[in-house]
Structure formats: structure tokens, C-alpha cells
Amino acid sequence: MQDMKVLRFENPGRDYCLVVADAPVPQPGPGQVLIQVTAAGLNRADLLQGRGLYPPPPGAPDIPGMEVSGTIAALGPDVTDLTMGQPVCALMAGGGYARMALADAGSVLALPKGVDLAEAAGLPEACFTAWTNIVDTGRLADGESLLVHGGTSGIGVMAIQMFAALGHRVFATAGSDGKCTACRELGAARAINYRTEDFVAAVMDATGGKGVDVILDMVGGDYVQRNIAAAAPWGRIVNIAYQNGARTQVDFTPVLLKKLTLAATTLRGRTPAQKQHIRDALAARVWPLIAAGRIRPVTARRFAFDAANEAHAAMAQGGHIGKILLEL
């Protein structure tokens, strides 16, 4: 069996590092494809995995990496809708920090016209996460407004662009004036520097006191109560992370009075069929907007495969706007 270069975590915990190692090239089973990887997208969850706080779901490879771009190198026996050599990007539960990576065919998307193949590695995790949390769980309807916390995160830069392009009024928060400018350039109607402004007051002011219909939150902690205050009647608040803490004291009275829905979801452990459902929606609704140049991947920095520790340090430091990529 052929070997390939991969990255593995060594010394999991606070002082983890990534080391280059050899591993057998995986073979695609039914419903899977093998991708020769051009680039892998970094995700904050990769840092948590290195620290031993976010193990891969059962059955997923222990090699990190949840999204890649590249070309199809082998097809599983029953895969008919993808072709050898096709440039693609794909979501996966693990195994992306490698020269060759397996993906479920239903989690693969064709490279959109006009997009650089390496930069496409930054699309899957952000697009799948933003779409399913804002549309499937958040039920964002025509004419409704959206607040995206972490507007310049890998997730945020896609969420702002996608829903601004689909005609929604999008608000975003970010931690500096420079990041707020970037949010506005991506399509946010109003960007709020959370270090100098109260986002609840800003959103209430911008909506004439009504509040915002859907909130995508990755902060948690005191944002839970403040999101409730910023939500419009019948609003939906969806958490994808609790970076400021998953424990907090909440007064649920306004949830009741405003008839709000509070939700939280993860993407990684969903079934291939559930991911395919999101993939199909992205292919129909978002990929044409990317091909038309109305949405673009936002790449903060690219690192070489053997500089993966520097890439992780850059994400931990947090100055980036958009995605950090590893080039394989």
C-alpha cells in the first residue's frame, strides 16, 4: 500500500504541536471519493482538537482537517456524479491535513468558476455552517434581518456575503475598526466594534427598536442574554460555539414575551445524508453567486504544509480576516 505525508498532533494539550508523518493512502469505499489535496482550510475546531478538547466523531480519521480543495484522484464503486481529475472542494469529519483525503461524495462541491483552487479550501466549512444554521435552524425568511457575531471569522466572512447577496439586511460584530470596515466591504449594512459599542443598542437603533430576526452567535457567555435583548419578536438565536463560556445565568422572561427560539448545533457529527442535503442547497443557491463573482473566498494567509504550527499560532493569535489555509 502506498504511503503519503500527513500532519498529526503530538503532545495533545495546551502545548500541542503538529508533526509531519507517513500514513497509508486511504481507499474510497462506496459513496466516497479520494481527493489529491491542493490546500486544507484551518478551523478553530482544529486548535481545540490539538488541545484535546474536541475529539473527532466515531469513525472519523484521527488526522486533523475538516475541509480541503484539490482534484478527484479515485472514485468509490458507485460514485457517478463526479469525474477523475475534477477540481473540487469538500467537507469532511477529519483527514484533511494530508496529501490525499477521503470525502463522502455528497459533501463534495465543484470548484466554482473563477475561484482559485487553493482558495476554494476555505469555502466548505464556512458555507455549510452558515447555511444550515441560518436557513435550516434559523429559518431566515425573505425580508428578514440577520446579525452575525465574529463577522471576520472564517464563518463570518461567508455568512455576511451569502445573506447580503441573497438580499437580507446583515449586521455584524467584530473586534476592531479595521475588521468592521472589512465587514462592511463584504456587504454588512452596519458593523459594530464590540470593544467600543454595545451591539444591542446599535442593532435596536438600526432597526427602529424592533430588533433583529436571526442571530448567528459563536461567543456565548454574556452574549446569550444580550442576544435575547437584541432579537425581534419571534426571533431565532442560533449558537455554533460558546467562546466566552457555555455557562451563564439567563433571565428567560424576554424569551417568553418575545416568543424567541434558542438553538445550538454542530456540523461535524452529522450523517452523510444530512450533509448532502446542505451541499445540494449550497450548489443550488450559493455556488451560482460565487461563480457570478458576488461572493468570494476571503483568504487571510496561506502557509506551507511544513509550517502548520505557524498557521495554528496565527489562528490562535486572532488577527486574521477570513480563512487561513495550509498548502499541501
Ligand X SMILES: NC(=O)c1ccc[n+]([C@@H]2O[C@H](COP(=O)([O-])OP(=O)(O)OC[C@H]3O[C@@H](n4cnc5c(N)ncnc54)[C@H](OP(=O)(O)O)[C@@H]3O)[C@@H](O)[C@H]2O)c1
Q: Is 296 one of the binding residues for ligand X (CB under 6 A)?
A: no
- Distance separating alpha carbons of residues 327 and 1, to the nearest angstrom: 24
Place of cell 472519523: 60
Interface pattern 134-153 for ligand X (x via CB under 6 A): ---------------xx-xx
- Distance separating alpha carbons of residues 297 and 164, to the nearest angstrom: 15
Q: Which of 168, 169, 179, 312 binds ligand X (CB under 6 A)?
A: 179
User: DSSP state, 57?
Assistant: P
Interface pattern 184-223 for ligand X (x via CB under 6 A): ----------x-----------------------xx----
Residue 226, H or E segment: helix 223-230
- Distance separating alpha carbons of residues 169 and 165, to the nearest angstrom: 10
Q: Which of 154, 187, 235, 297 binds ligand X (CB under 6 A)?
A: 154
The residue (of 225 and 265) whose beta carbon lies closer to ligand X is: 265
> What is the smallest separation between the CB atom of 49 and ligand X, expressed in angstroms?
10
Query: In whole angstroms, what separates CA 132 from the centre of its chain?
Result: 11
Site for ligand X in 46-75 (CB under 6 A): none
Which parts of 150-198 fold into alpha helices (H)?
Answer: 154-165, 177-185
Closest CA to 230 of 249, 206, 265, 251: 206
Angle in degrees, CA 322, 325, 326, rounded to 5:
165
Site for ligand X in 15-44 (CB under 6 A): 43-44
Residue 202, H or E segment: helix 199-206
Report helix, strand or coil for 176. coil
Site for ligand X in 218-257 (CB under 6 A): 218-219, 240-241, 243-244
Q: Is 276 one of the binding residues for ligand X (CB under 6 A)?
A: no
> What is the smallest separation between the CB atom of 113 and ligand X, expressed in angstroms?
25
The cell numbers describing 225, all together, are 442574554
Binding segment (CB under 6 A) for ligand X, from list 71-79, 200-208, 264-272, 283-291? 264-272
The residue (of 140 and 240) whose beta carbon lies closer to ligand X is: 240
The residue (of 129 and 145) whose beta carbon lies closer to ligand X is: 129
**What does the binding site for ligand X look like in residue numbers (CB under 6 A)?**
43-45, 125, 129, 149-150, 152-156, 173-175, 179, 194, 218-219, 240-241, 243-244, 265-267, 315, 318
